[in-house]
Structure 1
Amino acid sequence: MVELLPLSDIEPQAVEALLDAAFGPDRFGRTAYRIREGMDAVPALSFAAVEDGALIGTIQCWPVAHRGVDGTATPLVMVGPVAVSPDVQRGGHGRLLMAHMLEAAEHEADGALMMIGDPEYYGRFFGFAADATEAWDLPGLYEKRRLLARAVNGHVLPTGAGRIGPR
C-alpha cells in the first residue's frame, strides 16, 4: 500500500537519490532547475509516496512569479519535478502524487499553477494547458508547447508577456 506523506518527513538525501534515478545527475542544467534555484519548495504542496518504508515517488512545488513587462508581479506555483522510481514507473504513482497535490492546491496554493511538462498527459488528466502561457518566457531552453498552466484556488493566470522567475 502506498502512503502519501509531507515531503518534509523524508530525508533530503533519499529525495536527491530518487531524483537522480528518475532524471539523471545532469538534471540541474534543465530550465526548471534554473527557475527555482536557491528556493525552498512549498511544504504544503510537496509530497512523497512511500511503499513498504521505501521512497518511490515525490512531487515538489515552488514559489515563482510572472513578471510582466509593465513591472507587475503575479505569484505562481511551479509544479515539479514529479519523480517516480524507475522500477515502479507506469504504476500510477505519479498520477496519485499529482492528484494529491492538486487537491491540496485547491486550499493551499497562493497562486495559479505552472509547469514544464507533456501537454497531452497533463492536459488530459489534470487540466493544464498552454493557452495562457504563449507570451511567457523562461530562462533557458524549453519548448513553448510544454509550458503549461492551470488556475487553482481562485487564482487567475497572467496572460500577457512576462518572464517566469523566483518571487
Structure 2
Amino acid sequence: MADLIPIAEADQQAIEALLDTVFGTDRHQRTAYRLRDGVAAIPDLSFAAVEDGRLVGSIQCWPVALAADSGDRVPMILVGPIAVSPLRQDVGIGRALTRRAIAVAQRSDIPGGDSLMLIGDPDYYGRFFGFGAERTGQWRLPGPFEPHRLLALGSGIPMQPGHVGPRIGATAQRRLAGDARGS
C-alpha cells in the first residue's frame, strides 16, 4: 500500500501531471475548480500517496462557504480533486486518501471541518464515506453541475438555499485540535 504524506512534501509538478492525466488538461474549466478560485488548498487536509518514491495519488481540500440567502455565511470544506494513477486504481489508494482527509477534518478545529462537500459519484461516495445529496438541493454553484452529484458530509452541513464559492481570506492552515491540546 502507498504511504500517505503531506502534499507539501510531494513533487508539485508530478501532482499537476497526475491531475492532467486523470481529469484532462481542460480540468480548470470545471465547476469544482471555480469553487476554489483565489484560495489555497488546506495543507493539513491535503495528502499525496507515494509508492517506492513515485506519486500514485493525491487529494486536496479547499476552504469554501455557503453564502446563504438568509445572510448567513457557513464555512465548509471542498474535498477534491482526488486523483489516482490509472496504473494504481482499484487498489484502495483513493479511499485511503479520502478517509485520511475526512478523519483529519473531523477532528480538527479548521472552520468547516464538520461540513465537507464534493462533486462526485453518489453511489461511490455514499457507500464508502457516507456523503449524500439530502441537504444540498438548494445550493447554487458558479457553473454547471448535476444536482445529484453535489454531495455533503458532516454535522454542520447547512440545509438552506445559497451560493457556494471560495472562502476568500480564509486561513488555509489551522492547528489541529489534537495539536492544540498537546496530544
TM-score of the aligned structures, taking structure 2 as reference length: 0.87
Deviates more, 1:29-38 or 1:106-115: 106-115
SS of alignment partner, residue 131 of structure 2:
coil
CA distance in 2, matches of 1:89, 1:133: 29
CA distance in 1, matches of 2:11, 2:53: 12
CA distance in 1, matches of 2:158, 2:16: 32
SS of alignment partner, residue 59 of structure 1:
strand
CA distance in 2, matches of 1:40, 1:62: 7
CA distance in 2, matches of 1:53, 1:11: 10
User: Within 5 A, what are the aligned runs for 1:125-136?
Assistant: 125-136=128-139
- How far the C-alpha of 1:11 sits from its partner, in A, is 2.3
- How far the C-alpha of 1:12 sits from its partner, in A, is 1.6
Equivalent residue, structure 2, for 1:102:
102
Deviates more, 1:106-115 or 1:92-101: 106-115
Identity %: 53
- Following TM superposition, the consecutive aligned residue runs of length 4 or more in structure 1 with deviations greater than 2 angstroms are none
CA distance in 1, matches of 2:106, 2:73: 21
- Residue 138 (str. 1) matches residue 141 (str. 2): yes
- How far the C-alpha of 1:110 sits from its partner, in A, is 2.1
Equivalent residue, structure 1, for 2:43:
43
CA distance in 2, matches of 1:3, 1:125: 20
User: Within 5 A, what are the aligned runs for 1:116-131?
Assistant: 116-131=119-134
SS of alignment partner, residue 90 of structure 2:
coil
- Residue 80 (str. 1) matches residue 80 (str. 2): yes
CA distance in 2, matches of 1:67, 1:34: 15
Q: Root-mean-square deviation (CA), in Å?
A: 1.0
By percentage of residues, which structure has more helix? 1
Letter in 2 for 1:31: T
Equivalent residue, structure 2, for 1:68:
68
TM-score of the aligned structures, taking structure 1 as reference length: 0.95
CA distance in 2, matches of 1:26, 1:145: 23
CA distance in 1, matches of 2:100, 2:72: 31
Letter in 2 for 1:96: A
After superposition, the C-alpha distances for 1:103-124 in whole angstroms (9 at most, x for unaligned) are 1112124211000010000001
- How far the C-alpha of 1:156 sits from its partner, in A, is 1.1
SS of alignment partner, residue 164 of structure 1:
strand
SS of alignment partner, residue 48 of structure 1:
strand
- How far the C-alpha of 1:15 sits from its partner, in A, is 0.9
SS of alignment partner, residue 21 of structure 2:
helix
CA distance in 2, matches of 1:100, 1:78: 14
- How far the C-alpha of 1:166 sits from its partner, in A, is 1.1
CA distance in 2, matches of 1:23, 1:7: 18
- Residue 114 (str. 1) matches residue 124 (str. 2): no
Q: Which runs of 5+ in 2 are unaligned?
A: 168-183
Letter in 1 for 2:116: L
Equivalent residue, structure 1, for 2:179:
none
Deviates more, 1:56-65 or 1:102-111: 102-111
Deviates more, 1:2-11 or 1:57-66: 2-11
